[in-house]
C-alpha cells in the first residue's frame, strides 16, 4: 500500500472520528439540565412559558432530537457552527478571531518543548550516570509534579513583580504605535511567559523519553558496528542514533497535542491570553452552548489533523515502518 493511499485512509478515519465527536458533543449537551432558553430567560431576569416557547422555537429546540442533530451536522458541513447568543456573533467568526492566538501559543510551546527536550535527553544519554543526566531527571520530576497554573503564577511573581522583565498578560500593548517589526517583537515579548509555562511540563516528558530512546538505540548492534568501523562519535550520535531515537518522541508529541490544547486553556486564563481557552471559559460560565460546541469541534479537528501529520512524519522519518 502506497504512502498516499495510507494517508487517504487515515484522513477517512479522521473524518469518521470527527463525526463521532460532533454527535457525542451534541448528545452530551442535550442531556445537560436546562437549555439556551432557560439561560436567556435568566439573563433577562425571568420569562413566562410563552416567551420560553418562542425562544425555543427561534433556536429550533422545539424540534425532535434527530431533527436537531441533523440540522446541526448539516450546518457544520458548511462550517456554520451556529450563533452565539452571549456574544451576539456567529460562532465561526468568534473562533476565527481567537484561533490565531491559541495556535501561536500552542505551536511555540510545542516547538520549544520538543527541541529543549530532545537536546536535554541526548546530552543526558551521553553520560547516563553523570551529574547532567541526574539534573535532567530532577527537572523532569519537577515538570511532572508542578501544576501548570502554579508554574504560571510563580513566573508572574518572579518576572513581573520581582524582576519586571515581561508584561503580566494580554497579547500586545494596544498603546504601541510603531512598525510591523515593533508589533511583532511586542507580541513575542508578551508570548514568552505563557509559552514557557505551557512548555515546561512537556519538556520534562520529551527529555525523559529522548534519553531513554537514545540509550536504547546506542545499545543496538548497528551502533556498535559503526563504532567498530571507526565512524566518528559525533556522526554516530547525530547521524545514526538520533534519527531512530526521534521516532518515539514524534509519536508522543503528536498524541500529546490534545494535552497541549487543554493546558492552553489554563495558561490563557492565568495570563489573560485572548485565545480559545479564554473564550471557552467565558462561554462555559455563560452557558453559551453553540460556542462551547464550536470550540470542542475546533479542538478535535486540530488534534485529528496533527495525529495524521504525525503518522505521515513517522513514515517519512523511519523507512522501516511499512505502509501495510
Q: Tens digit of pLDDT for each residue in 108-158?
A: 988 998 898 888 888 888 877 778 878 877 877 777 778 888 888 888 888
Q: Which of 19-28, 37-46, 214-223 has the highest mean pLDDT?
A: 19-28
- pLDDT for 46 equals 64
pLDDT score of 250 more than 60: yes
Residue 116 · residue 203 · CB < 8 Å: yes
CB-based contact 189:108 (threshold 8 Å): no
Mean pLDDT confidence for 239-267? 78
* pLDDT of amino acid 43: 64
Question: How much is the mean pLDDT over the chain?
Answer: 81
Which residues, in sequence order, are bridge partners of residue 68? none
Minimum mean pLDDT range among 26-30, 58-62, 123-127, 291-295: 58-62
Contacts of 282 (CB under 8 A, 6+ apart): 86, 288
Fold annotation for 94-317: MetI-like fold (1.10.3720)
Most confident of 1-5, 42-46, 151-155: 151-155
Report the pLDDT value the prediction gives residue 21, as an integer from 0 to 100: 86
Comparing 28-32, 101-105, 274-278, 287-291, which segment has the lowest mean pLDDT?
28-32
> How do the domains of the chain map onto residue ranges?
3-91, 94-317
- The DSSP call for residue 147 is -
Q: Is the distance from CB of 258 to CB of 304 less than 8 angstroms? A: no
- In the chain, the percentage of residues whose pLDDT exceeds 90 is 1
% of the chain surpassing 70 pLDDT: 92
**What pLDDT, on a 0 to 100 scale, did the predictor assign at position 324?**
47
Give the per-residue pLDDT at 45: 65
pLDDT for residue 52 is more than 80: no
* pLDDT mean over 49-56: 74
Q: Is the pLDDT of residue 297 over 80?
A: yes
Per-residue confidence (pLDDT) for residue 42, from 0 to 100: 65
Q: Which residues pair with 90 in a beta bridge?
A: 83
What local confidence, expressed as pLDDT, does residue 44 receive?
A: 65
Q: Are 153 and 270 in contact (CB under 8 A)?
A: yes
pLDDT band at 315 (very low <50, low <70, confident <90, very high): confident
Q: Nearest-CA neighbor of 103 among 251, 249, 264?
A: 264
C-alpha distances (whole Å) from 205 to each of 200, 201, 210 are 9, 7, 9
Question: What distance in Å separates the CA atoms of residue 262 and residue 302, rounded to the nearest whole number?
Answer: 12
How much is the pLDDT for 128? 78
Amino acid at each position: 500500500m502506497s504512502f498516499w493511499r495510507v494517508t487517504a485512509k487515515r484522513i477517512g478515519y479522521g473524518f469518521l472520528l470527527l463525526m463521532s465527536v460532533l454527535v457525542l458533543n451534541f448528545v452530551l449537551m442535550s442531556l445537560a439540565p436546562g437549555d439556551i432558553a432557560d439561560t436567556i430567560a435568566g439573563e433577562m431576569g425571568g420569562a413566562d412559558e410563552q416567551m420560553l416557547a418562542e425562544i425555543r422555537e427561534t433556536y429550533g429546540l422545539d424540534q425532535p432530537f434527530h431533527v436537531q442533530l441533523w440540522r446541526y451536522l448539516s450546518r457544520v458541513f458548511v462550517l456554520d457552527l451556529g450563533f452565539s447568543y452571549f456574544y451576539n456573533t456567529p460562532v465561526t467568526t468568534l473562533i476565527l478571531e481567537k484561533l490565531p492566538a491559541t495556535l501561536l501559543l500552542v505551536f511555540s510551546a510545542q516547538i520549544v518543548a520538543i527541541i529543549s527536550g530532545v537536546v536535554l535527553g541526548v546530552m543526558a544519554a551521553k553520560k547516563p550516570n553523570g551529574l547532567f543526566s541526574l539534573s535532567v531527571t530532577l527537572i523532569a520530576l519537577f515538570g511532572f509534579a508542578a501544576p501548570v497554573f502554579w508554574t504560571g503564577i510563580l513566573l508572574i511573581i518572579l518576572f513581573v513583580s520581582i524582576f519586571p522583565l515581561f508584561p503580566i498578560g494580554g497579547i500586545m500593548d494596544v498603546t504601541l504605535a510603531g512598525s510591523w517589526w515593533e508589533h511583532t517583537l511586542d507580541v513575542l515579548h508578551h508570548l514568552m511567559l505563557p509559552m514557557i509555562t505551557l512548555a515546561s511540563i512537556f519538556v520534562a516528558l520529551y527529555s525523559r523519553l529522548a534519553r531513554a530512546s537514545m540509550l536504547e538505540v546506542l545499545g543496538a548492534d548497528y551502533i556498535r558496528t559503526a563504532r567498530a568501523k571507526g565512524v566518528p562519535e559525533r556522526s554516530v550520535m547525530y547521524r545514526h542514533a538520533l534519527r531512530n531515537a526521534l521516532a518515539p518522541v514524534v509519536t508522543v508529541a503528536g498524541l500529546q497535542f490534545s494535552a497541549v490544547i487543554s493546558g492552553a486553556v489554563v495558561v490563557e486564563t492565568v495570563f489573560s491570553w485572548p485565545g480559545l481557552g479564554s473564550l471557552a471559559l467565558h462561554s462555559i460560565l455563560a452557558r453559551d452552548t453553540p460556542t462551547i460546541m464550536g470550540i470542542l469541534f475546533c479542538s478535535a479537528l486540530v488534534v485529528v489533523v496533527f495525529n495524521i501529520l504525525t503518522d505521515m512524519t513517522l513514515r517519512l522519518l523511519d523507512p522501516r515502518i511499512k505502509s501495510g
